[in-house]
Amino acid sequence: MEATVGIIGGTGVYDASVLEDVKQEPILTDYGEVVIQFGTYQGKRVAFLARHGVGHTLPPHLINYRANIQALKQVGVQKIIATAAVGSLNEELRPGQFILIDQFIDFTKSRASTFYEGGEQGVVHVDMTTPYCTALTAELKGVASKAKVDIGVGGTYVCTEGPRFETPAEIKMYAQLGGNLVGMTSVPEVVLAREAQMCYATVAMVTNYAAGISQSPLTHKEVVETMDSNREKFKKFIMEAISSITEERPCSCSKAIDELGKF
Name the β-bridge partners of 23. 38
Domain count, the chain: 1
263 within domain boundaries: no
Question: How much is the average pLDDT of 92-114?
Answer: 94
Q: Give the domain CATH number at 233.
A: 3.40.50.1580
In this prediction the pTM is 0.93
pLDDT digits 0-9 by tens, 61-74: 999 999 999 999 99
260 within domain boundaries: no
Above 90 in pLDDT, residue 238?
no
261 within domain boundaries: no
pLDDT band at 13; cut points 50, 70, 90: low
215 within domain boundaries: yes
81 within domain boundaries: yes
Report yes or no: 34 and 107 within 8 Å, Cβ to Cβ: no
pLDDT digits 0-9 by tens, 24-45: 999 999 999 999 999 998 888 9
Above 70 in pLDDT, residue 83?
yes
Dist CA 227 CA 237 (whole Å) = 14
DSSP 63-96: --HHHHHHHHHHTT--EEEEEEEEEESSTTS-TT
pLDDT band at 262; cut points 50, 70, 90: low
238 within domain boundaries: yes
Question: How much is the average pLDDT of 98-112?
Answer: 96
**pLDDT value of position 121:** 81
pLDDT digits 0-9 by tens, 116-175: 998 888 889 999 999 999 999 999 999 988 888 889 988 899 999 999 999 999 999 999
Helices (H), the chain: 65-74, 134-146, 168-176, 186-195, 220-229, 231-244
Dist CA 71 CA 6 (whole Å) = 10
> For the stretch 170-199, what's the b/e string if a residue is b when 16 or more beta carbons lie within 10 angstroms of its beta carbon?
bbbebbeeebbbbbbbbbbbbbbbbbbbbb
Note down the domain range covering 143.
Answer: 5-255
pLDDT band at 261; cut points 50, 70, 90: low
pLDDT digits 0-9 by tens, 179-227: 999 999 999 999 999 999 999 999 999 988 999 887 777 777 777 777 6
